[in-house]
Amino acid sequence: MRLENKVAIVTGGGSGIGQAIAILFAKEGAKVVVAGRRLEALQSTVTEIEKSGGEALAVTADVSSFSSVHNLIQKTLEKFGKIDILVNNAGIYLPGDAVSTTEEDWDKVLAIDAKGTFLCSKAALPSMLKQGKGKIVNIASIAGWVGFEGSTAYCAAKGAVVNLTREMALDYGPKNININAIAPGIIETDMTQGFLQDENAKKSFLAKTPMGRIGKPLDIAYAALYLASDESDFVAGEILVVDGGWTAR
Ligand code: NAD
């Protein structure tokens, strides 16, 4: 198993991409802390993991609040004694161009998608530094790599995650902590449900995707598994694009 004896925290683990990552990590031997805002959703991921013989813990946490994130780290250390892997996956999308995006929406998206990634990393790093090894995987987006019309706050937040990843990789690479990101294309989850129900929008996504399909949460989970495992020990500050070829042109 590729994550045997590892302890992983996955934020936003109650649904979509985070849930797929949590379940795959557990299958590969990790003990998984499934963190997020909705206990019922987190618990369903934990139940799924336990059904196949894995070990997991649900912890409610709001990644935009440092006290909440601090509590998440404490609960993880109390239960499992260490943190080997942090997946900063929690995120929200709110539509709007620069004129229509409200200040409140901007603050909300930046607080969860960008500041949340910073806060969880800040809180988990001391424990990784103490053990002299660690892996952080940030879930960015191709919207942080290229522009996406009508997505001002989201593009800004994910762009911040992309360069925060590179910056933290420089600071913590010398301490044997690998910090990388994944930039998913369009993946079928609650976040994209609205777009994907619109036939025209779906057609336009497919037209831009050489692989000719919408991505699945597991497509991202496999990339996260690589970046969380010892196989990626020489990879740092990398933004692994998993988008069916969308940004290849
Ligand atoms: P999702 O809505 O199913 O997952 C997002 C999760 O984050 C939810 O479980 C939600 O409860 C949690 N969350 C939101 N705010 C939180 C907070 N303040 N504290 C803790 N948890 C919080 O959607 P998803 O598509 O699985 O998204 C997962 C990640 O992937 C997000 O960062 C998203 O931006 C990114 N992403 C998604 C796509 C896509 O096409 N679906 C593409 C690129 C990037």
Is 154 noted as a catalytic residue in this protein? yes
- Mutation choice for ligand 1 from 69, 191, 192, 242, CB with most ligand atoms inside 8 A: 191
Q: Is 15 in the pocket of ligand 1 (CB under 6 A)?
A: yes
Q: Is 14 in the pocket of ligand 1 (CB under 6 A)?
A: yes
> In the chain, pLDDT over 90 holds for what percent of residues?
100
What spacing in Å lies between the alpha carbon of 113 and ligand 1's midpoint? 9
Q: Is 139 in the pocket of ligand 1 (CB under 6 A)?
A: yes
What spacing in Å lies between the alpha carbon of 174 and ligand 1's midpoint? 30
Q: CA-based Rg of the chain, rounded to a whole angstrom? A: 17
pLDDT value for 188: 98
Confidence of residue 159 (pLDDT cuts 50, 70, 90): very high
pLDDT value for 220: 99
Q: Give the active site residue among 154, 172, 222, 226.
A: 154
The model's pLDDT over 31-89, given as tens digits with 9 standing for 90+, comes to: 999 999 999 999 999 999 999 999 999 999 999 999 999 999 999 999 999 999 999 99
Q: Is 39 in the pocket of ligand 1 (CB under 6 A)?
A: no
What is each CA distance from 28 to 7, 139, 247, in whole angstroms? 11, 20, 30
- pTM value? 0.99
pLDDT value for 57: 98
pLDDT value for 150: 98
pLDDT value for 48: 98
Residue 232 sits at the vertex; the CA angle it makes with 13 and 28, to the nearest 5 degrees, is: 45
pLDDT value for 106: 99
Q: Is 86 in the pocket of ligand 1 (CB under 6 A)?
A: no
Kindly list the strands in the beta sheet with 85-88, ordered across the sheet, starting from the edge strand earlier in the chain.
Answer: 56-60, 31-36, 7-11, 85-88, 134-139, 177-184, 239-242
Tokens representing residue 13 in the block: 């683990």
pLDDT value for 211: 98
pLDDT value for 215: 98
The whole-number average pLDDT for the span 167-190 is 98
